[in-house]
Copies of this chain bind each other. A is one copy, B any other.
Amino acid sequence: MTDPHAPALRHGYFGPQGTFTQMALASWLTADDATLAAARPFGTVALALDAVRAGEVDRVMVPIENSVEGGVSATLDALNSDDPLVIQGEVLVPITFVLAAPRGTDRAAIRGVGSHSHAWPQVRGWMAANLPSASYVPTLSTAAAAEALAGLGEKRPPYEAAVCAPMAAEVFGLEVLADDIGDNRSAVTRFVVVSRPGTVPPPSGADKTTVVIYQHDDHPGGLLELLEQFAARGINMTRLESRPTGQAMGSYCFSIDFEGHVADERVGETLMGLRRVCADVRFLGSYRRADGRPVEATRTTTDEAYADARAWLQSLRD
């Protein structure tokens, strides 16, 4: 059995310090302050995942899905290219934004606001109401927007304030000009812990599995056929996203989360079905749900139902 919190593992995250991703890692490591302190920040999701592939760190925390902005394309695509990686677990973090600036900044003086392109749409309403004339300046992360304002960089950034996590304002010594400015107070981001393939976390009864599926060709009804592989085994999908394969306009693969663990009979049979009917299937891990909600298998889809059916089939074949 694997221990997802084993302290000897070297961790990384999509940084710098003060990102929501670092908060997710803190949550994942619970009270293991030493490991958290030793965790390495990476400037982009791709760099973080490459560091795992290269063996520089054992695990990295990256964002994968936001309840307002949707799937994080950079993560989905980076997980799905190059050497295989697998998800070891997930963390949900409520998202709270603040408007932060160097101490003494006057709100009236703010002409530009820096933030990540995923964050900006989430505060658009507040900005329109409170800083309607401020222009948006994209940055690599919400924390990077704050960091640049802290005067640590060589150049002054082309904006006067940042939209970032409360933690980033604190880390970089900024003043919070406005608190909790997100338009959607229930915004949540889902983060995943990624490692090289190896041991899969054991079934917990409340698991998810993530795969990427490539169709053989783009024939009508192709997606319907794929979904029937799930339906015929009573498997419930919790996320489906199309991502371009890059081959041609209109050529897509599907990134899918579904309930259950690769060790479950019904999940195994579904994966076998996908493997047979698809051009390719990339397995991205089975792991415990962050909300711990048990998967409800109907009486027809339990491991017991499969064992009974297998024994019956064996009796017919003998």
Contact = CB atoms under 8 A, between A and B. Distances in A.
Interface string A126-170: 000000000111111000000000000101111000000000000
A155 B157 CA distance: 9
A104 interface: no
B240 A242 contact: yes
Interface stretch (A11-19, A51-59, A271-279): A271-279
Interface residues of A, number: 84
Nearest to A241: B242
Contact of A200 (B138, B244, B268, B317): B317
Interface in A32-70: 43-44, 46, 65-70
A176 B130 CA distance: 41
Contact of A272 (B74, B273, B306): B306
A216 to B, nearest CB: 8
B262 A317 contact: yes
A6 B92 CA distance: 51
Contact of A186 (B44, B238, B248): B248
A109 to B, nearest CB: 15
A210 B166 CA distance: 40
A278 to B, nearest CB: 9
Contact of A277 (B137, B139, B300, B313): B300
A262 B315 CA distance: 11
A232 interface: yes
Contacts of A233: 273
Contacts of A239: 242, 250, 252
A195 B43 CA distance: 39
A220 interface: yes
A160 to B, nearest CB: 12
A228 B238 contact: no
A188 interface: yes
Interface string A182-202: 001011101000000000100
A136 B44 contact: yes
A249 B92 contact: yes
Contacts of A248: 67, 186, 188
Given A229-B232, A238-B250, A308-B275, A70 B73 contact: yes
Interface in A209-223: 220-221, 223
A294 interface: no
29 contacts: A44-B136, A67-B248, A70-B242, A70-B252, A137-B140, A155-B156, A184-B246, A186-B248, A188-B248, A190-B249, A200-B317, A220-B237, A221-B231, A223-B237, A224-B227, A227-B227, A228-B231, A232-B273, A239-B252, A240-B242, A240-B252, A262-B313, A262-B317, A263-B317, A271-B309, A272-B306, A272-B309, A272-B312, A275-B313
